[in-house]
Structure 1
Amino acid sequence: MRGVRLSLALLGVAWLGGCSFIPHYRTPAAPVAADWPKGEAYAGRTRDGTVSGVQGWRDFFLDPALQRLLQIALENNRDLRTAALNLEAYRAQYRIQRSELFPTLDVQATGNRQRIPDSLSTTGKSRISSQYSVTLGTTSWELDFFGRLRSLNEQTLEQYFASEEARRSTQISLVASVANAYLAWQADQALLQLTRDTLQTYEESYRLTERSFNVGVASALDLSQARTAVEDARAKLAQFTRQVAQDRNALTLLLGASLPADLQGSHGLADDLLARVPAGLPSRLLQRRPDVLQAEHQLKAANASIGAARAAFFPNISLTADAGTLSKELSGLFTGGSGTWLYQPQINLPIFTAGRLRASLNYAEIQKDIGVAQYERAIQVAFQEVSDGLAAHHTYRQQLSAQRDLVKANELYYELAERRYRTGVDSYLTLLDAQRQLFSARQKLISDRLDQLISEVDLFKALGGGWAENNEDAVPPS
């Protein structure tokens, strides 16, 4: 049993005294400005500081119907399900890699009986030889003196962490996509209703113009222009009817399930659909975006692979050892004196590999450099997306205010034009122009409101699914 004790001693040395060639990791400096851009587009949005507020989609999306759809999507969306399964696959790979740090113990029982003819027997007589054994041991267990296995284990662990951030990124993107699809559905329904109301107005105007034409007050040109407006509105009605149906189809695909039959959406694009984004968002919020964290974990994995490539230059030490019982008779396996053991260490030192090990190390170092570039790129993209969102947040509110004023001005223009036409002061062309401008202004107001809401959702996504600094996972797992 002395060999077994020696094996256990080597195990302790390998476990406690092993070294690592993984380079010391340092997070690369962020290649962006320390604060958000400043200027007229960012009025009141550039102050840095500590903020609290939205920690996830339930705090940000205030519409109960939208919250219900988001919950359905998180439970049924197939892309999110795929991301979750990929996470489980990486977890299994990590457990496989981690198992190589420990010896694999096997129990083996064998039996052998052989007849040896007299021509081959040392005694000149035929005989039957028997041998039975039961052993417990390990085969070719690598003693990780130079940290190769620990480096690979660290690499796989970081890849698992990266897959978790990829799942979070997919989840946040799904939430934003469902929200944007829902808002587009609501906007198209509002445009459809506006078109129905406008068509009704145009048809009424056409009937009045036709009546005036029949009595010789309106001209054929006035009647033709009124008919043109009606047909244009009918074409718009068909267009928005189609878009509403397609919006439902797109939303159904994102949900991964049918829309609830009793779903009661908001009336139009109300002002209380989303939570307000506060001023003074700190730029360090970028560090919690899942795509940035994913890039950093991938960088750490590449850094760990360098340790494995360096350790490959050093001897590979493996151990085969077992202990058990051996006997010529099956009944004598567990009698006194039948014990047996085997101790077989092996050292493999690379001498000539035609540059393979050096090339492997160079490849690992290049992969780390690529990881640094990808991490810095992720930071830059995140900074650009948040900066765009902050600019849109302020300017869209100004644009919407101006568009509402334009709608009011066009309503007044339409009222005056209709009054003047009915009294014979102005031509029908002026009334038609007023009708079209009012219809166009109201359409643009709905489109601008949709764009403004989508920009808010995109900012929510760009901030990693929220802006509470103490929030580690902005979108809770489904």
Structure 2
Amino acid sequence: MFRLSIISLSLLLAGCISLDPDYQRPAAPVPSVWAAQGTQPAASNVLTDWQHIMTDARLNNVVERALTSNRDLQEAIADIESARALYGEQRASLFPSADAELSQTRSRTQDAGVSSSATADGAVSSFEIDLFGRNRSLSQAAKETWLASESTARNTRLTLIAETSTAWITLAADNGNLKLAQDTMTSAADSLRITQLRQKEGVASGPDVSSSMAIYQQARASVASYQTLVAQDINALNLLVGDTVPQNLLPDTLESLSPQAIALVPAGVSSSVLLRRPDVQEAEHNLKSANADIGAARANFFPSLSLTASAGVGSSSLSNLFSHGTNVWSFAPSLSLPLFTGGSNTAQLRYAEAEKKGLIAAYEKAIQSAFKDVSNALARRATLDEQRDAQQQYVAAAQSSYDISRRSYEAGAGDYLTVLTNQRSLWSAQQDLIALQQTDFENRITLWQSLGGGVK
């Protein structure tokens, strides 16, 4: 009988009933593979952490600094600690709170003279026995909120890695454009000098000099513009990192980087990896929290049993308290049954159920948005190599046309307008090539990020 009583009490204290709905993860409303992958076999274990994607040692170092000093990430980590503390506070309601008190009172009256009393008590104060799992549901909801905050921090971390890498690549691209503008300005200055000499010799016309001056000033303005952009890129990178990035960690031109400075995620990835994305995991934890809230709202319709109890000893003197004291105890259970709440309990339950419906939709949309991100990145990836190769051939052809027209003009067999037209075409083609190279690197970052990365 004693053993049965202990078992029964344990079940009462733990809460033997849960009114939470059975949680079923909603089916992902997306295909199992991406259309851009064709018939490539699906795989789910191809992703790796960021150190194996950002392979340039300087970029790797810059990202490490950002993960240490970025203020947004520090704020997200603080949010985790806050949510974890709230979970601990809520979970404490599952256990009784025991207090011990030792007191002595000494008083004097006209009739009895001086008297004294001493008491030692141990008490359990108004502990709610979780018969229908209300407190356990609230604790589970708080836990899922905490886990959602962890997913938020992981998403912040993933975004920070991607944004820092993109800012570093943008700086490299603008360094390349600055160098191109400087080279063009040097070439235009040389052409202007030659044209002015030919004018003095009566070979070149005034319009030739004016046209040569125009392209020189255009290149000069571009140099100043890209100098501004480079300075702004460095400021943006410093903000992301949370500190001043040393000069030796900044990139040179984009062309100087290895083609594998940012590795390409292997093809053939199953769409199931989207479930690993931090934003998708955050949405699911929020959904689980709402599911637990329904259980707590259901429990409000049932009786609640609270227990207040104390036990101790009393004596006329402190010295006799634990040897000759008198045992005292009290036991005061109370049962509360909701009879009329004005519809409050029903409204709370309907609110919790509506919240869950909304969060199911949010979870499914998070997966669909993730699928779209990957699909867009793969679609860009499918044509990028061909476009870059064509642009490289175009730059080579434009360079050849410019060289031929310039030699022809210097030999007196061509006109200067053709030289200027070919020079502008070459400059524009070179700028487009830098833009495509930048797009290539950024697409690799985006693809890795949209697949959820390998951030732990």
Scaled to the shorter chain, the TM-score interval is over 0.9
Q: Distance in 2 between matches of 1:153 and 1:299?
A: 15
* CA distance in 2 between partners of 1:5 and 1:135 (Å): 27
CA distance in 1, matches of 2:317, 2:116: 7
SS in 2 for 1:262: helix
Q: CA deviation at 1:163?
A: 1.1
Q: Determine if the alignment matches structure 1 residue 135 to structure 2 residue 121.
A: yes
Alpha-carbon distance change, 170 to 204 in structure 1, aligned in 2, over 3 angstroms: same
Is 1:345–2:338 an aligned residue pair? no
Which residue of 87, 97, 102 maps to 1:109? 102
Pick the aligned partner of 1:92 from 67, 85, 97: 85
CA offsets per residue over residues 123-178 of structure 1, 9 Å max, x none? xx465554321101210011001000110111111111111111111100000000
Separation in 2, partners of 1:301, 1:264: 44
Q: Counterpart of 2:61?
A: 68
> What residue is the counterpart of 1:396 in the other structure?
384
- The Cα of 1:8 is off from its aligned counterpart by 6.2
Which residue identity lines up with residue 168 of structure 1 in the other structure? R
CA distance in 2, matches of 1:92, 1:17: 23
CA shift, 1:274, in A, is 1.5
Structure 2: distance between partners of 1:300 and 1:48: 33
What code does the residue aligned with 2:150 have? E
1:468 equivalent in structure 2: none
Contact 1:316 1:349 in 2 (8 A): yes
2:20 to 19, 22, 31: 22
Aligned counterparts, 1:416-427, within 5 A: 416-427=404-415
Check conservation: 1:46, 1:279, Cα contact below 8 A: no
- Distance (whole Å) between structure 2 residues aligned to residue 9 and residue 26 of structure 1: 31
Matched to 2:455, the amino acid is V
1:221 paired residue number? 207
Q: Which runs of 5+ in 1 are unaligned?
A: 118-124, 466-473
Provide the C-alpha distance between the structure 2 equivalents of 1:71 and 1:181, rounded to a whole number of angstroms. Answer: 14
> Hey, what does 1:370 align to over in structure 2?
358
Q: Sort the Cα spacing of 1:340 and 1:7 in 2 relative to 1 into closer, same or farther, 3 A.
A: farther
Matched residue type, 2:80: L
Distance 2:354 2:5 in 1: 39
What's the offset of the Cα at 1:395?
A: 1.4
Q: Distance in 2 between matches of 1:240 and 1:306?
A: 58
The reply on whether 1:459 has 2:431 as its aligned counterpart is no
- SS of residue paired to 1:100: helix
Letter in 1 for 2:168: Y
- 1-structure distance, mates of 2:243, 2:334: 59
Q: Which whole-Å deviations, capped at 9, do the CAs of 1:325-367 have from their partners, x for residues lacking one?
A: 1123333322335111111111111111111111111111111
CA distance in 2, matches of 1:48, 1:294: 29
Matching residue of 1:415: 403
Aligned to 2:314: 326
Residues 77 and 256 of structure 1 are in contact (CA less than 8 Å); yes or no, is this contact kept in structure 2?
yes
Gap change, CA 1:91 and 1:349, over 3 Å in 2: same
> Alpha-carbon deviation of 1:306?
0.3
Structure 1 residue aligned with 2:134 = 148
Aligned residue type for 2:30? V
1:348/1:421 CA distance change after superposition, 3 Å: same
In the aligned structure 2, how far is the partner of 1:456 from the partner of 1:54? Answer: 13
SS in 1 for 2:254: coil
The alignment status of 1:475 with 2:455, answered yes or no, reads: yes
Q: Distance in 2 between matches of 1:156 and 1:282?
A: 32
List per-residue Cα deviations over 1:223-254 (Å, max 9, x = no partner).
00000000000000001001111111110011
Choose from 337, 348, 359 the match for 1:360: 348
Q: CA separation in 1, counterparts of 2:156 and 2:58?
A: 22
Measured in 2, the distance between the counterparts of 1:6 and 1:347 equals 23
In structure 2, relative to structure 1, the CA distance for the partners of 1:423 and 1:232 (3 Å cut) is same
Structure 1 position 49, deviation (Å): 1.7
SS in 2 for 1:140: strand
User: For this pair of structures, how many residues does the alignment match?
Assistant: 453
Matched residue type, 1:32: V
Q: In structure 1, what is the equivalent of residue 284 of structure 2? A: 296
What is the root-mean-square deviation of aligned Cα atoms in Å? Answer: 2.0
Could you state the TM-score of these two structures normalised by the residue count of structure 2? 0.95
Sort the Cα spacing of 1:264 and 1:364 in 2 relative to 1 into closer, same or farther, 3 A.
Answer: closer
Query: Which residue identity is paired with 2:328?
Result: T
Contact map agreement 2:142 2:289 (CA 8 A) in 1: yes
TM-score, normalised via structure 1 length: 0.91
In structure 2, what is the Cα distance between the partners aligned to 1:341 and 1:265?
77
1:115, distance to aligned residue in structure 2 (A) = 4.5
1:116, 1:128 within 8 Å by CA — same for their partners in 2?
yes
Greater mean alpha carbon deviation, residues 129-138 or residues 348-357 = 129-138
Q: Does 1:275 align with 2:263?
A: yes
- The question of whether the paired residues in 2 share the 8 Å contact of 1:65 and 1:266 is answered with no
- Could you tell me how far apart the structure 2 residues matched to 1:360 and 1:276 are? 50
Structure 2 CA distance, aligned partners of 1:375 and 1:51?
A: 21
Match of 1:47 in 2: 40
- Quick one: structure 1 residues 431 and 261, their matched pair in 2 at CA, closer, same or farther if it must change by over 3 Å? closer
Which residue number corresponds to residue 470 of structure 1?
A: none
- Give distance in 1, aligned partners of 2:102 and 2:4: 24
- Alpha-carbon separation, structure 1, partners of 2:415 and 2:294: 82
Which among 25, 35, 38 is matched to residue 33 of structure 2? 35
CA contact (8 A) 1:114 1:130 kept: yes
> How far apart are 1:48 and its partner, in Å?
3.8
Structure 2 unaligned segments of length 5 or more: list them.
none
Other structure's SS at 1:344 match = strand
User: Residue in 2 aligned with 1:122?
Assistant: none
Residues 357-407 of structure 1 deviation map (CA, whole Å, 9 limit, x = unaligned): 111111111110111011011001000000001011121212111111110
1:59 equivalent in structure 2: 52
Contact 2:59–2:165, Cα closer than 8 Å, also in 1: yes
